[in-house]
Amino acid sequence: MDTKDVIKTRRAIKHFDPEHVMTAEEEKELLSLAMLSPTAFNIQHWRFVVVKDHGLRKQIREAAWDQAQVTDSSLFIIMCADSKAWEKDPVRYWANADKAVQDFMLPSIDAYYRGKDQVQRDETMRSCGIAAQTLMLAAKDMGYDSCPMDGFDFEKVAELISLPDDHVITMFVAIGKAVKEAWPRAGQLAMSEVVINDRF
């Protein structure tokens, strides 16, 4: 599918075929493509929690206002991020770079994040948002539909998946075969309201 068509036809789908099973190859391809998403300093701090356990999915659905996408999608991913990835053996993020590049990047990573909790958290949101969009566009190209989700009890879901203290949950992405079309676009803002030239 043409990239522009993928962007235009991707919609948030609420109803999936609960009987459809995605192949292991399809799942691996989607996750591999998501892992090509950019992150600042290449720290790759997203962590994709793929929930396959049906019992756990039901519990998460309860914590997500009983939204059916949680249990009915073929692939259900909790988008998480390690907010402290920047300080966990950062040389691995630049292992294939020249030493001169490493000598520049490693101190830069430390200077950018150390002691800046808000920066660390903000970066997790940016990175997971980009990765989520990559997942959804790739899924559409492969003939699947998707739904980004943030309507859930974050603390409860964190407890259910044993989220480490230095990680955050950013959103869910549900992927599968749609059984019902999305509602018509409800109201698109005019470009003149959204696009600002130079200054507000």
Q: CATH number for the domain including 130?
A: 3.40.109.10
pLDDT above 90 (res 1): no
Q: Give a yes or no: residue 58 inside a domain.
A: yes
The pTM of the full predicted model, rounded to 2 decimals, is 0.95
Contact 79, 48 (CB under 8 A): yes
Q: Give a yes or no: residue 192 inside a domain.
A: no
Q: Give a yes or no: residue 167 inside a domain.
A: yes
Which are the contacts of 12, defined by CB distance < 8 A and separation ≥ 6? Answer: 146, 147, 148, 182
pLDDT at 44: 98
Cross-strand pairs, 80: 47, 169
Contact 80, 169 (CB under 8 A): yes
- What residue type is assigned to position 160 of the chain? L
Q: Give a yes or no: residue 89 inside a domain.
A: yes
pLDDT above 90 (res 51): yes
Contact 166, 83 (CB under 8 A): yes
What mean pLDDT is predicted for residues 30-56?
Answer: 98
Q: With bands split at pLDDT 50, 70 and 90, how would you rate the model's confidence at 116?
A: very high
Q: Give a yes or no: residue 191 inside a domain.
A: no
What is the per-residue pLDDT across 156-184, written as a single tens digit (0 to 9) for each? Answer: 999 999 999 999 999 999 999 999 999 89
Q: At what angle do helices 24-34 and 117-141 cross, to 10 degrees?
A: 140
Total structural domains within the chain: 1
Q: How far is CA 117 from the centre of its chain?
A: 21
Q: Indicate the average pLDDT of the chain.
A: 97
Nearest to 131 by CA among 78, 63, 70, 178: 78
Q: Give a yes or no: residue 198 inside a domain.
A: no
Q: Determine the structural domain holding residue 55 and report its residue range.
A: 3-180
Q: Give a yes or no: residue 48 inside a domain.
A: yes
Q: Give a yes or no: residue 160 inside a domain.
A: yes
